[in-house]
Amino acid sequence: MKKSHSIGIVGATGAVGKKFMQVLQEHRITPKNLRLFASQKSKGTKLAFNNHEYEVESLEESDFKGLDIVFFSAGTDISKDHCPRAVKAGAIVIDNSNAFRADPDVPLIVPEVNPHALKNHRGLIANPNCSTIQMLVAIAPIHRINPIKRIVVSTYQSVSGTGIEAIDILKRQAEAFLKAETFPGGVYPHQIAFNLFPHIDIFLENGLCREEEKMVFETRKILESDIPVCPTTVRVPVFFCHSEAVNLELTNPYELDQIRKLLSESPGITMMDTPEKNVYPTPIQCQDKDDVFIGRLRRDNSAKNALNMWVVSDNLRRGAATNGVLIYKYLAENNMI
Amino acid sequence: MKKSHSIGIVGATGAVGKKFMQVLQEHRITPKNLRLFASQKSKGTKLAFNNHEYEVESLEESDFKGLDIVFFSAGTDISKDHCPRAVKAGAIVIDNSNAFRADPDVPLIVPEVNPHALKNHRGLIANPNCSTIQMLVAIAPIHRINPIKRIVVSTYQSVSGTGIEAIDILKRQAEAFLKAETFPGGVYPHQIAFNLFPHIDIFLENGLCREEEKMVFETRKILESDIPVCPTTVRVPVFFCHSEAVNLELTNPYELDQIRKLLSESPGITMMDTPEKNVYPTPIQCQDKDDVFIGRLRRDNSAKNALNMWVVSDNLRRGAATNGVLIYKYLAENNMI
């Protein structure tokens, strides 16, 4: 990028906030200025970026003056309270929370899928939900040439999606379980070590949990289509990366080889699909990588023009920080900032 | 049961064999005689049953004389070699392996679903695959009143389905991971602790792994229908119980309350479905229970007459030993043995 910008990160001490700092460095982005924000209790914490130490500011006490871009990842309530303040101060905000995704005035962006929607932003841009991002990077190329008529998806979502405290509880529960010691509870309503449950975020009146509702709503908003989506979202005892078993019904007949070629040439996708040699993506293999990994691509003969695939990606990176950084890079490279 | 029988268990030292002994005792079955068989290396091992000790015999060296019923659970090759011998000796064989499931002369039985198929047995009866059994117990009552047109299912299968050595490797890998020690490999082609993969049994030329092929084939054989099934079978880091996200398309419109009532009154099913109170089945809760547990029952608006549910059951019990014992009890109670 030719120009450097003043960058703020809200929620800098959290799992996604730290990942934002890591991804910005890996993408060799040198901010003109960097400011880190978190809650009052983290004030003064020092975090390294490009070999410099930065002191975390209290979000409550700070203004956003002089910042060109601010990444928010501190939860929906914080975003609701503070994003408007940052926009008012002149920054472009890329918000990772659920606060504004449904707002018709806020573009919801996956850079490989709908960058055109960025042109109407009013200072606020929403980063989609992690499960939605990786599914859309995988299926959007197909949808462009052969419109998708229906999606049935089951997810296998890692605990890092909940935050640092969930990573810790999985570790501590697993340790206690293996030593047959008293079991630490907390974070989740059920044991997560060596267990799993079809429950992510709160349950809504329609019987879906909010993570499922997000996958339905956000898929439609981003693809600008009313594709029906049937998701089941499941938390599994994995630390990083979400996996998804995705079933698509397409409008027209297709050649499997053509879909395979299309996906392997699409940005942000790595094919890992030689099952007879045990090659398909697993969470451990995809950890700390930016791409969406696809395997088990196969024809589904149970419905007309149906197709199955297995999609794995790092939820903190591709599903959060990387997506935000890619939005920022798109804005910068297109002189939109 | 009025009459007691001479019972044999082949693979008595394995995960399913031990479960057969546990389930027989819990169902208060008192054999006239009990004989336990395993490989030569387990010969002489002593196992308790109803407060008596029984010595394991070498399968190779033994005959099956005098046995009324023999449960086989020692793998496909052992079954191929030795089941015919047991039938020839006059026993009824209930085989838990994949050896004879496709044989049109061998009934493939889930007692709550297709007990009528037992009447044509020729001495050999096949126990279906664990993932298929629990799905069929859950969906057969619906299929009877409103024929299922298509099934899309994603599984979350525990390591105990692979056997005792897989339970051990999950434990040892988890321990090593938590202590950051050198990682023990084996059993699976990939790490299973804090990881997962869409690969159960070997891959076939059609792109399915054999576990998926079993779910397709066995569902059709048991329901005596050519229902299209699209499965993705996934191994997860859980010790016991398989979970399944099941999507059904039915022939006719339905009332959700009616389906709920039907399932709650069907044999072998326990409804656990108050998601707003965090009540849905999880593997830990369903462990060591005989029933199939259903939660997250909900309308799926993404297709006509579609329905979603979450199904959990103990793969060693309901998916193996309990199903076998229920077949035996059905035979005994109907004077078929």
The tens digit of pLDDT for each residue in B226-281 reads: 999 999 999 999 999 999 999 999 999 999 999 999 999 999 999 999 999 999 99
List of chain A residues whose C-beta atoms are within 8 Å of the C-beta of residue B276: 203
CATH fold, domain A6-127+320-333, is: Rossmann fold (3.40.50)
Helix B130-145 and helix B256-264, axial crossing angle in degrees, nearest 10:
120
Q: Name residues 21-50 of chain B within 8 A of A (Cβ).
A: none
CATH superfamily, region A132-315: Dihydrodipicolinate Reductase; domain 2 (3.30.360.10)
Interval B161-178 mean pLDDT? 96
Checking if the pLDDT of B161 tops 80, the result is yes
Average pLDDT, whole number, for chain B?
A: 97
CB-nearest to B302 from A230, A278, A310 is: A230
Q: What is the pTM of this model?
A: 0.96
What pLDDT, on a 0 to 100 scale, did the predictor assign at position A1? 67
List of chain B residues whose C-beta atoms are within 8 Å of the C-beta of residue A170: 194
What pLDDT, on a 0 to 100 scale, did the predictor assign at position A120? 87
A305: left (phi over 0), alpha (psi -120 to 50) or beta: left
What pLDDT, on a 0 to 100 scale, did the predictor assign at position B1? 67
Contact check, Cβ <8 Å, A189/B278: yes
The C-alpha torsion from A142 through A146 and A148 to A153, rounded to 10°, is: -30
- Length of chain A in terms of residues written: 337
ipTM, interface predicted TM-score of the complex = 0.96
Interval B119-133 mean pLDDT? 96
SS3 of residue A134 by DSSP = helix
Helices (H) and strands (E) in chain B, counts: 8, 13
Checking if the pLDDT of B106 tops 90, the result is yes
Contact check, Cβ <8 Å, A152/B152: yes
CATH topology match: B6-128+320-333 vs B132-314: no
The answer to whether residue B230 neighbours chain A at the CB level (below 8 Å) is yes
Report the percent of chain B where pLDDT is more than 90: 97
The answer to whether residue B183 neighbours chain A at the CB level (below 8 Å) is no
Checking if the pLDDT of B46 tops 80, the result is yes
Do the Cβ atoms of B245 and B154 come closer than 8 Å? yes
> Span B132-314: which CATH code?
3.30.360.10
Q: Distance between CA B154 and CA B135 in Å, rounded? A: 11
What pLDDT, on a 0 to 100 scale, did the predictor assign at position A158? 98
Architecture of domain B6-128+320-333: 3-Layer(aba) Sandwich (3.40)
Domain boundaries, chain B: 6-128+320-333, 132-314
Contact check, Cβ <8 Å, B236/A239: no
Q: Distance between CA A100 and CA A115 in Å, rounded? A: 18
Q: How far is CA B312 from CA A212, B44, B290, in A?
A: 20, 37, 11
The answer to whether residue A305 neighbours chain B at the CB level (below 8 Å) is no
∠ at Cα A317 (A25, A148), nearest 5°? 135
Residue carrying the six token digits 């064989």? B93
Interval B33-62 mean pLDDT? 96
List of chain A residues whose C-beta atoms are within 8 Å of the C-beta of residue B189: 278
Q: Report residues of chain A scoring pLDDT below 50.
A: none
